[in-house]
């Protein structure tokens, strides 16, 4: 209970203070985690309860983003979103794999490093884009579309990597899996749209709209996670379907109710990321080089990939903002690193290096976003 109270008090306060100062709340909350966690003060320790609250917070944040965005605006990102995702993933995977081999990792560990670097953190970017009123503009559409593609493909790569290191990979099986996933996400969208259109018109009390929308987003987030996909992707698609099925007035009312819940729960996610840093292993030989190298590749790979994918002669800063918005890392990187470590494919040192890389990118990416976001307002 002490940990929950501290995160609520300090995490929410830090986020609100950062917003008043014109800074991203996510960065302030990650810094709170760094200070309060075991590396420094040791006031909090991330346990299963805090992880659940953090997952719930980022799930609702993405569900809310889906409702905000709408399918027509997401589809409007088109090939630009796909190019941003593909180029960023290719550069990060190739750079991560080559650097890990150079550092001395065996091939299987280097593959996991490359896969881990491909995933972005849509939760961090969405919060900042919302803060600066860019979530419904082209920047927000492209970033969210590319980030969703990132997370889906990164988890596919994780599954393929595990299969490649433990059994023979069969291309037809992979293709069938991709088709099944596409059909499943499409079905989630349709079901949520129909529920919003018919069930919510039957439920008259606004409070019931909030309760049932929460249940829908959480249920489909859990369902996609149970199937081996990202929790946040399921929540985002569920929110997308709900937003499409609701009239604008009802959708706006519901989003206002979500704001307070997200304000309370999201700090658990960002504070937990910061609190997982472990500084003592940095004293071991080669660790500083490994961590710094991964940070540089993670930031440059996504930024350059996003810039090239969204390049336009008319506006230099918008493609750069899109690229920088893809740079933050978070939950998916930590999941991939933890799975690789648990399966014995990556060492403890690489696990810590990936965690520190995710934290550094979660701080550096938003800090760069803020400067460019102000130019787009």
The residue that leads in pLDDT, 326 or 202, is 326
**% of the chain surpassing 70 pLDDT:** 84
Give the pLDDT of residue 98.
95
81-107 per-position pLDDT tens digit = 888 989 999 999 999 999 999 998 888
Q: Is pLDDT at 186 greater than 90 in this prediction? A: no
- Which tokens go with 341? 């470590």
- pLDDT score of 91: 95
Q: Indicate yes or no: pTM above 0.85.
A: no
Q: CA-CA distances (angstroms) from residue 328 to 26, 108, 202, 255, 303? A: 10, 25, 41, 25, 10
Average pLDDT over residues 170-192: 75
- The percent helix, strand, coil of the chain (3-state, each to 5) is 80, 0, 20
| pLDDT tens track for 308-324 | 988 877 677 788 888 88
Q: Which helix (H) or strand (E) holds 342?
A: helix 331-342
**How many angstroms separate the CA atoms of 235 and 217, rounded?**
5
In a 13 Å sphere around the CA of 158, the CA atoms on its Cβ side amount to: 24
- Read off the pLDDT of each residue in 180-208 and give the average, rounded to a whole number: 79
Residue 88, CA distances (Å) to 120, 154, 269, 281 in order: 9, 12, 24, 29
pLDDT the model gives residue 69: 66
Close Cβ partners of 367 (under 8 Å, ≥ 6 residues apart): 24, 27
Residues 264, 51 contacting (CB under 8 angstroms): no
CA angle 257, 258, 262 (to 5 degrees): 135
Residue 75: the pLDDT is: 64
Q: Which two tokens stand for residue 136?
A: 């419904």
Task: Check pLDDT > 70 for residue 159.
Answer: no
Q: How far is CA 235 from CA 57, 136, 229, 302, 364, in A?
A: 11, 18, 11, 24, 26
Rounded to the nearest angstrom, the gap between the alpha carbon of residue 275 and the centroid of all alpha carbons in its chain is 17
Model pLDDT for residues 31-82, shown as the tens digit of each residue = 788 788 776 777 877 777 777 888 888 788 878 877 876 666 566 667 888 8
What percent of the chain stands above pLDDT 90? 10
Q: How open is the CA angle 274-224-174, to the nearest 5 degrees?
A: 105
Q: Which domains does the chain have, with CATH numbers?
A: 2-376 (1.20.1530.20)
Mean pLDDT estimate for the chain: 79
Query: Residue 199: its pLDDT value, please?
Result: 77
Residue 249 has phi, psi (to 5 degrees) of: -65, -45
């Amino acid at each position: 209970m002490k940990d929950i109270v501290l995160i609520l008090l300090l995490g929410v306060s830090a986020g609100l203070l950062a917003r008043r100062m014109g800074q991203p709340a996510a960065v302030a909350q990650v810094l709170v985690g760094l200070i309060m966690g075991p590396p420094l003060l040791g006031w909090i320790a991330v346990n299963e309860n805090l992880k659940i609250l953090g997952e719930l917070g980022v799930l609702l944040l993405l569900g809310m983003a889906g409702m905000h965005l709408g399918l027509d605006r997401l589809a409007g990102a088109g090939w630009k979103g796909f190019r941003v995702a593909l180029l960023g993933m290719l550069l990060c995977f190739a750079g991560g794999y080559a650097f890990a081999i150079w550092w001395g990792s065996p091939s299987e560990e280097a593959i996991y490093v490359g896969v881990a670097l491909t995933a972005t953190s849509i939760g961090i970017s969405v919060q900042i884009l919302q803060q600066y009123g860019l979530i419904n503009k082209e920047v927000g559409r492209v970033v969210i579309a590319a980030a969703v593609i990132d997370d889906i493909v990164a988890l596919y790569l994780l599954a393929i990597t595990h299969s490649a290191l433990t059994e023979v990979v069969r291309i037809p099986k992979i293709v069938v899996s991709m088709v099944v996933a596409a059909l499943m996400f499409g079905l989630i969208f349709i079901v949520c749209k129909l529920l919003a259109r018919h069930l919510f018109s039957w439920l008259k009390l606004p409070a019931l709209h909030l309760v049932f929308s929460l249940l829908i987003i959480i249920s489909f987030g859990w369902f996609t996670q149970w199937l081996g996909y990202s929790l946040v992707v399921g929540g985002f698609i569920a929110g997308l379907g709900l937003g499409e099925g609701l009239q604008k007035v009802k959708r706006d009312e519901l989003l206002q109710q979500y704001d307070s819940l997200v304000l309370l729960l999201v700090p658990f996610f960002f504070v937990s990321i910061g609190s997982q840093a472990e500084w003592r292993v940095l004293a071991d030989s080669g660790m500083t080089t490994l961590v710094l190298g991964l940070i540089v590749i993670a930031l440059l790979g996504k930024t350059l990939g996003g810039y090239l994918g969204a390049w336009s002669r008319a506006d230099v800063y918008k493609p750069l903002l899109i690229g920088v918005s893809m740079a933050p890392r978070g939950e998916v990187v930590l999941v991939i690193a933890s799975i690789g470590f648990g399966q014995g494919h990556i060492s403890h040192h690489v696990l810590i290096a990936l965690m520190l890389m995710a934290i550094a990118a979660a701080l550096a990416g938003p800090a760069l976003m803020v400067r460019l976001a102000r130019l787009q307002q």
